[in-house]
A and B are shown apart, each in its own frame.
Chain A
Amino acid sequence: MSHALHHALMLAVCAASVGPLARSRWPWHSPRVALVLWQALGLAAGLSAVSFLLAVGLSPYDRGVLPACARLVADVLAGQVFTALSLAHLVAVVLGLALATRLLVGAVSAITATLRARRRHRSLLALLGQDGPHGDDVLLVDLPTPAAYCVPGRHPRVVISTVTRRLLDDNQLRAVLAHERAHARERHDLVLLPFTLLRRALPNSRLLAEASRAVELLVEMRADDRALARHRPETLAGALLCFHPDGDGEPGPAAPAAPGGSAPASHELQARVRRLLTPRRPLSTAVRVLLVATATLLTLTPVSLLVMPG
């Protein structure tokens, strides 16, 4: 039973750290390191959840899940499953495998849906967009709303709506393009993907929603930082504020909220603007090393529990 306990403990640790980590401000000082930590947390939680069920079922073998699975297969082939495992144990194994399958199938279908949506979006852009004077990878689209986004992929595209073009001055536009190109270059869509997948598997989980929001914000802050390599923070902040011209911070009751009940975007926007306008204080090297070590430990713990022979 000790393996199952370890996995359960791991899951509890992951769940307990989401809230404090999502509400902390220190990750904002070094978004990239914080993103590494979030990835490790997501991976550890997913692995532990599946392993927990399997470990409960395979507890009579008293070893890590993978070696125990090998034993189970050998016993099944020898036709003596029930000498080693009770029916209850077998049920737990089946449940664990079912959860793993569900996560896997969900992942495949979510990725297919995303790719299909992206392909459709690219087709629509080919039909409705125009090449602007801002570079080969930039498309201008006539939309009645301020929009600036990146269509990720092997040939990424940055899309700017005509309203955005009118709202921003040339420097602000260049800063926004730098921000979007950072998203494309660092494949932030893939950074967000694990959390999208977990949320699909557990759509009602507040914890996962909180984690996704925190990761989305960190990804934006990371792209802001990349844009700052060539652009002044005031320029980027000015561009951000153009996306919220009234400045009262509330999008009003008529603004469409994204499904899934996410918080108003304005809160995140204000956090980014305030962060840009205060002097940057990245975390010290020692702290960053410590965080990366923690992330490594988080990932390795469930993996080592899985393969442990004894």
Chain B
Amino acid sequence: MRNLGALERAVMDVLWARSTPATVREVVTDLADRNLAYTTVMTVLDRLARKDFVRRERAEDGRTWRYVAAASRESFVAELMLQVLDLAGDRDAALVHFARSVPVTEADVLRDALTGHGRPDPSGRR
């Protein structure tokens, strides 16, 4: 499992580095130093798509799939932050904290990160 996680991260890094959608073949090429099989990369991309980390679209030929990161790394970090700070929605007992405390400056950092990525601020402030 741990290996799979590392692969997912490597594939995401490739997609984040590219500005345009990539085919499986292109991702394999970018990860040439890892010597990955085509099917392995395809499986990883499929898993990432199921987790909504990656979007799939048809290439111009209408047959091959192309993959693109669903969001930037920063907005995934911001999403994680929202969940950590319990701002993601109602306060369900999804996580159990050591201490809930957000120093003012950090809150500002977060708010900047969020407004920068166009996510609604559930506390009603922007």
Could you list which residues of chain A lie within 8 angstroms of chain B, going by C-beta atoms?
Answer: 110, 113-114, 117-118, 120-121, 123-128, 131, 141-152, 159, 161, 163, 176, 179-180, 183-184, 188-189, 192-193, 196, 200, 219-220, 239-240, 243-246, 251-252, 254-260, 262, 265-266, 268-269, 272
Contact = CB atoms under 8 A, between A and B. Distances in A.
Given A126-B5, A246-B103, A269-B101, A141 B80 contact: yes
Contact of A243 (B89, B99, B110): B99
Contact of A244 (B51, B73, B101): B101
Contacts of B102: 145, 251, 255-256
Contact of B77 (A142, A255, A257, A262): A142
Nearest to A155: B1
Contacts of A272: 99
Contacts of B83: 117, 120-121, 124
With a 10 A CB-CB cut-off, give which of A128, A141, A244 has the most chain B CB atoms: A128
Contact of B98 (A120, A148, A258): A148
With a 10 A CB-CB cut-off, give which of B79, B102, B106, B109 has the most chain A CB atoms: B102
Chain B's interface size range is 35 or more
Contact of A146 (B79, B101, B108): B101
B42 to A, nearest CB: 19
Given A128-B80, A256-B110, A258-B86, A183 B103 contact: no
Nearest to A179: B98
Contacts of B51: 123
Interface string B77-117: 10111011111111111111111111110111111010000
Given A144-B110, A147-B84, A189-B94, 8 more contacts: A110-B92, A117-B83, A123-B53, A128-B76, A143-B84, A149-B98, A193-B93, A255-B107
A114 B92 contact: yes
B86 to A, nearest CB: 5
Contacts of B97: 147-149
Contact of A196 (B93, B99, B113): B93
A178 to B, nearest CB: 11
Nearest to B50: A123
B9 interface: yes
A257 B123 contact: yes
B120 interface: no
B85 A149 contact: no
Given A244-B101, A256-B102, A124 B80 contact: yes
Contact of B80 (A125, A189, A193, A251): A125
A192 B98 CA distance: 15
B80 A148 contact: no
Nearest to B93: A192
